Structure 1
Amino acid sequence: MKYLIVGLGNIGPEYANTRHNIGFMVADHLAKENGASFTMDRLAYVTDFKHKGRSITVIKPTTFMNLSGKALKYWANQLKIKAENILVIVDDLALPYTTLRMKGKGGAAGHNGLKDIEAQLQSSAYPRLRFGIGDNYSKGKQVDFVLGEFSEDEKIDLDTLIEKSAEMSLSFCSIGLARTMNQYNK
């Protein structure tokens, strides 16, 4: 069984610790915890490891957020991984901070990374792990908020949330979407 985990984010040090890069942060944690390291490859930083008999490839697209689908599609085709074995890790303004929610499908909800993935896959039926970042910003300041770093208060829970997101990602690969949703979605 092969799985593809796609952490969404933007490349470059100016984006490294921003809310929009939570997918990269979770991907980095997964690699570290499984003794793997990323190498630069076509359209993404890529690593792979085994977990409970599963082959897991983790990518961090280098296409920038708005073209994330291009990297996902390339690697899914290259590795012959079907949509139901792909997990996209994404920041979500619609969920309060500290909320983690796995879903089997859904709309892009204005998220440009998800919009591009939908366009590339010609479907919104792919699993995703939504990492709630909340919507604590003033009118017209959404871009500044998502491209801003987590506040000092948010950083208190951040490592635990990243760890739990990684745990949920591995659970998705080992026991499947439905059981992972039942176990973790509150």
Structure 2
Amino acid sequence: MKCIVGLGNPGRKFKKTRHNIGFMVIDELVDRHNWKLKKDKFNGKSTVEFLGNEKVILLQPQTYMNLSGGSIRPLIDFYNIAVDDVLVIYDDLDLPTGKIRLRQKGSHGGHNGIRSTIEHLGTKEFKRLRIGIGRPSGQMQVVDYVLGSFPKEKHEAVDSGIQKAADACEAWLEKSFSEVMNEFNN
């Protein structure tokens, strides 16, 4: 069984913000396969499904970004999922809007959702799928930027990134993560 986690903030106020691009990828997977996310006892919305021969859990923590690990850890413990079978999707300021990058492990890089995940999992060695949101220009504060919506001229790049990220998630259910990295990191 594998677990795919999209990070974001719950509520209508945050729905289309840059920080919620992880949620957007989970929503894309749910829409593609006609699945339904339900509130669960792990402070998240999740679904357990089969895609091909692989059982997968999709999770959107509802703990707010900075406390994401508090939803992920209880869920993977309950389902007895190895950390090696967890993929976390999140926004990245250092990548151009819509660009995706997969990694086997790494630091939190200043991302509070990943910091919380590392703290709760007790390791930096879990799979990540980062989606670029670009950097703010001028004097805009990072917190205002990530909690802001994408401008209209970026919608095509955002949609493309979400599609590629969802494709990479589906590929990971059939191939090794190294193969998926080679395919999608180019």
Matches for 1:142-153 after TM superposition, within 5 Å: 142-153=142-153
AA at the equivalent of 1:163: Q
Structure 2 letter corresponding to 1:15 = F
Q: Normalised by the size of structure 2, how large is the TM-score?
A: 0.96
Instruction: Give the aligned partner of residue 67 of structure 1.
Output: 67
Q: Deviations over 1:38-74 (max 9, x none)?
A: 1111210011221120001101001110010011101
Q: What amino acid sits opposite 1:95 in the alignment? A: L
Residue 95 of structure 1 aligns with which residue?
Answer: 95
Q: Deviations over 1:128-170 (max 9, x none)?
A: 0000111133345111110000111111222222111101011
Aligned mates of 1:34, 1:18 — CA distance in 2: 24
Match of 2:32 in 1: 33
The percentage of aligned residue pairs carrying the same residue is: 34
Whether the aligned pair in 1 keeps the contact of 2:98 and 2:159 (CA below 8 Å) is no
Alignment match, 2:7: 8
- Tell me whether 1:171 sits opposite 2:168 in the alignment: no
Cα distance per residue 1:52-101 (max 9 Å; x no partner): 20001101001110010011101111111111110000000111112100
Deviations along 1:5-42, whole A, 9 cap, x unmatched? 00000001010000000010100111111121011112
CA RMSD of aligned residues (A): 1.0
Q: Which structure 2 residue ranges, 5 or more long, are not aligned?
A: none
Kept after mapping to 2: 8 A contact 1:8/1:22: yes
Greater shift in the superposed pair: 52-61 or 151-160: 151-160
CA distance in 2, matches of 1:137, 1:76: 38
How far the C-alpha of 1:180 sits from its partner, in A, is: 0.1
Question: What is the one-letter code of the residue matched to 2:89?
Answer: I
Is the Cα–Cα contact under 8 Å of residues 7 and 89 in structure 1 kept in the other structure? yes
CA distance in 1, matches of 2:139, 2:55: 44
Superposed structure 1 runs of 4+ greater than 3 Å apart:
none
- Show the 5 A alignment for 1:32-181: 32-42=31-41, 43-139=43-139, 141-181=141-181
Q: How many residues align?
A: 185
Shift of residue 173, structure 1, vs aligned partner: 2.0
Using the alignment, how far apart are the partners of 1:7 and 1:148 within structure 2?
18
Give 1:165's aligned amino acid: A
1:19 lines up with 2:4 in the alignment: no
Q: Is the alpha carbon distance of 1:17 and 1:106 closer, same or farther for their aligned partners in structure 2, counting shifts above 3 Å? A: same
Measured in 2, the distance between the counterparts of 1:74 and 1:156 equals 36
Match of 2:173, SS?
Answer: helix
CA distance in 1, matches of 2:181, 2:8: 23
Secondary structure of 2:174's counterpart equals helix
